[in-house]
Amino acid sequence: MKKIFLWIVSLGALAVAIVVLWPAYYGNPSVETSVPVADSTAQIARGRYLAQVSDCMACHTARGGTPFAGGRAIKTAYGTFVTPNITPDVGTGLGSWSTDDFWRAMHLGRSRDGHPLYPVFPYTDYTHITRADADAIYAYLRSIPPASAPNQPHALHFPYDQRWLMYAWQRVYFTPAVYQPDPQQSEAWNRGAYLVNGAGHCGACHTSRNAMGSALSKSALAGGFLVAQDWYAPALDQTPSASRSAAASELATLLRTGTSARHSVYGPMSEVVFGSLQYLRNEDALAIADYLNSLPQSEPPPAPADMAKVSRQYTGELMRRGAQLYHNDCAACHQVNGAGVRHIYPALGANASVLAPSPVNAIRMVLNGGFAPATALNPRPFGMPPFSPSYSDSDVAAVVTYMRQSWGNDASAVAPQDVARFRSAPVD
């Protein structure tokens, strides 16, 4: 009873706060004016490229569905979101939206009727996109065939289903602002920063979030857990890890092809490369790499608090068992010394995926195996077989502990109970 009362009081207080604090900016959003373009074909082509780099299609297309017609379910800790139709259909899509309406969605996180949008649509990053680029994306979206597909409602948990609370969320956590180039830096660096923090929305996964789902600016790109997806996106800022101190060209190759000499992407990053980054122009991929390699190293997020502690004695047992399993089942590909085979099998020494504070990625790779994405520049990627059918939880814990503490790696040991909960994680 007391709890309900508290809820009512705090919701009431919030409502009052919103009305009182309402800034003129939101009441009357000053719309940066559209720049007329001479060549609409060129504008559409530019918009298509930017839409690819922004990965709009991945979220706004149901599995096997019409591109951009929405209907894809996105599971999060807050409930399931279903993406809307963004084709130019008049009845069910963006057909009757103006360029200004679209700009407000991208820049202010507001729908056509002014209601605030949930930041699962990454407008907290897209807000950095310039008006001219947003107009180009919209010109492209208007050029695709309209598809009639009514929007489906989200299925969110209380209180997240109360959309009006997003007024308060935006007020506290969201500052709309177009990217301002840093005159001290090169043109390429600025282009990289613009793409990473704007269209590319890399921070949507690679930055830690607070309990309200807001990115923590202090740890921008220092690594983050994907909400409810049980994956960890490693730090992208410069650290001594070999996979990241690699030359910018290696990193650019990884982004465009899905593999580089020592690494290949998997899990959600494989989807990002497949749907989006493989289309990057080489100079843009290099600009992104240039920018990422210049970032100061920040504190990575701590290991999840609920990870079991492993005693020294048990670590010793895990290491012995892990060494045996590794030599039997893994060394043929990843090599006895963990160095992998260049361009074919990833190196496991000095590997951000293996060394991450959370062992979740390594556990899931051993359980489910994986494939790097098939891209235009790497159409036949190598794969890794799943070990979940033959490995017990303690086998997985042993081989993951072995990887985390061999070849110069120095990360915490992993207990079998931390493996158990990822057995049921969806394989994608």
Interface of this chain with ligand HEC, residues 227 to 256, rule: CB under 6 A = 231, 233-234, 236, 243-244, 251, 254-255
Token pair for 23 = 């800034």
Work out whether 335 is an interface residue with ligand HEC (CB under 6 A). Answer: no
Work out whether 86 is an interface residue with ligand HEC (CB under 6 A). Answer: yes
Work out whether 361 is an interface residue with ligand HEC (CB under 6 A). Answer: yes
| Distance separating alpha carbons of residues 201 and 194, to the nearest angstrom | 10
Work out whether 59 is an interface residue with ligand HEC (CB under 6 A). Answer: yes
8 Å CB contact between 398 and 318: yes
Is 180 exposed, middle or buried, given 0-12, 13-18 or 19+ CB atoms closer than 10 A?
A: exposed
Closer by beta carbon to ligand HEC, 248 or else 269: 269
Q: Which region, judged by CB under 6 A, interacts with ligand HEC, from 179-187, 294-302, 383-391, 418-426?
A: 383-391
| Distance separating alpha carbons of residues 129 and 408, to the nearest angstrom | 42
* Interacting residues of 221 by C-beta distance below 8 A, sequence separation 6+: 196, 202, 203, 206, 207, 235, 236, 237, 292, 295, 298
Q: Which of residues 311-330 bind ligand HEC (CB under 6 A)?
A: 329-330
Work out whether 60 is an interface residue with ligand HEC (CB under 6 A). Answer: yes
Work out whether 51 is an interface residue with ligand HEC (CB under 6 A). Answer: yes
Token pair for 70 = 């929405």
Work out whether 46 is an interface residue with ligand HEC (CB under 6 A). Answer: no
Using the Cα atoms of residue 29, residue 118, residue 20 and residue 175 in order, give the sign of their dihedral. negative
8 Å CB contact between 159 and 108: no
Is 385 exposed, middle or buried, given 0-12, 13-18 or 19+ CB atoms closer than 10 A?
A: exposed
Work out whether 202 is an interface residue with ligand HEC (CB under 6 A). Answer: yes
Work out whether 104 is an interface residue with ligand HEC (CB under 6 A). Answer: no
Work out whether 147 is an interface residue with ligand HEC (CB under 6 A). Answer: no
Interface size with ligand HEC, residues (CB under 6 A) = 72
Work out whether 37 is an interface residue with ligand HEC (CB under 6 A). Answer: no
Q: Which region, judged by CB under 6 A, interacts with ligand HEC, from 10-18, 34-42, 197-205, 418-426?
A: 197-205
Work out whether 367 is an interface residue with ligand HEC (CB under 6 A). Answer: no
First to last CA, the chain: 41
Work out whether 198 is an interface residue with ligand HEC (CB under 6 A). Answer: no
Work out whether 111 is an interface residue with ligand HEC (CB under 6 A). Answer: yes
Closer by beta carbon to ligand HEC, 248 or else 255: 255
